[in-house]
């Protein structure tokens, strides 16, 4: 597949030459939360055909943004992981997520897919480091069949797929209520009061949770 170029000696244009093709940044998004197998990427990116996925992965390998690895035991299967250069696209992807929540989201369309696991990256995008000062806690989120966790350490955050070994607090919520939380149509307290969510664990960690993530209010792009 021929790689298109803007033919401009400009840092922005050169970057878009590398990651501006359709699906490429979404592959970066998926890999920012850890190595993924080919099938994992295919499942997360519905609508991306097998041939195009293989081509995009080869492009990322060729350009030094991703590499093949073998997952550790017990999996021991081939997977893809970001290189140092690929990982450094993280802040740009998070900035796009923050902009999108404010200016692009709106109502969910009928044909749009959603994976609660995408929140693994979203938690980083909306994390308020000042509100987390002095807090050391591990939060586990269970959204239907998907589980992920966030480790807070005095103003820093690490988010990962899968359960936490020793969570200080756990939040269980359905996908519909979770979407209402992210669209700011529902608070965690309201979700608990109505039975749409349940929480357990350390009371202080749970008390501070709503302040740890600041979602910008949605805005219209038109005057």
pLDDT tens-digit map of 174-187: 999 999 998 888 99
Q: Is the pLDDT of residue 106 over 60?
A: yes
Q: How many CA atoms lie within 13 A of 163 on its CB side?
A: 6
Residue with tokens 């929540």: 101
Per-residue pLDDT, 2: 62
Q: Is the pLDDT of residue 132 over 90?
A: yes
Token code pair at residue 108: 């969910």
Looking at residues 151-167, what average pLDDT do you find? 95
Per-residue pLDDT, 223: 65
Q: What domains does the chain contain, in order, with CATH numbers?
A: 11-88 (1.10.10.10), 116-211 (3.30.1050.10)
Tell me which DSSP letter residue 217 carries.
P
Looking at residues 28-44, what average pLDDT do you find? 94
Per-residue pLDDT, 99: 93
Selection from 93, 77, 114, 73 nearest residue 31 by Cα: 93
Per-residue pLDDT, 1: 52
Per-residue pLDDT, 98: 92
Distances (CA, A) of 24 to 45, 50, 76, 222: 11, 14, 26, 28
**Total-model pTM:** 0.88
Looking at residues 54-80, what average pLDDT do you find? 95
Of the chain, the percentage scoring pLDDT greater than 70 comes to 99
Q: What is the pLDDT of residues 204-218, one digit of tens each?
A: 999 999 999 998 888
Tell me the pLDDT of the chain averaged across its residues: 93
């Amino acid at each position: 597949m021929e790689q298109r170029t803007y033919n401009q000696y400009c840092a922005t244009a050169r970057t878009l030459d590398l990651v501006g093709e359709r699906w490429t940044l979404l592959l970066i998004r998926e890999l920012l939360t850890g190595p993924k197998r080919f099938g994992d990427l295919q499942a997360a990116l519905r609508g991306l055909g097998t041939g195009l996925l293989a081509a995009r992965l080869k492009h990322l390998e060729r350009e030094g943004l991703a590499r093949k690895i073998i997952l550790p035991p017990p999996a021991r299967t081939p997977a893809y992981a970001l290189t140092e250069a690929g990982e450094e696209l993280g802040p740009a992807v998070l900035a796009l997520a923050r902009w999108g929540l404010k200016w692009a989201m709106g109502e969910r369309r009928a044909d749009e897919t959603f994976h609660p696991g995408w929140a693994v990256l979203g938690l980083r995008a909306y994390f308020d480091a000042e509100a987390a000062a002095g807090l050391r806690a591990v939060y586990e989120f269970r959204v239907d069949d998907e589980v992920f966790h966030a480790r807070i350490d005095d103003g820093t955050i690490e988010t990962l797929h899968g359960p936490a070994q020793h969570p200080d607090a756990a939040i269980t919520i359905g996908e519909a209520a979770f979407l209402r939380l992210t669209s700011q149509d529902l608070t965690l307290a309201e979700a608990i009061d109505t039975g749409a969510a349940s929480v357990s664990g350390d009371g202080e960690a749970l008390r501070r949770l709503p302040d740890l993530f600041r979602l910008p209010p949605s805005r219209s792009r038109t005057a």
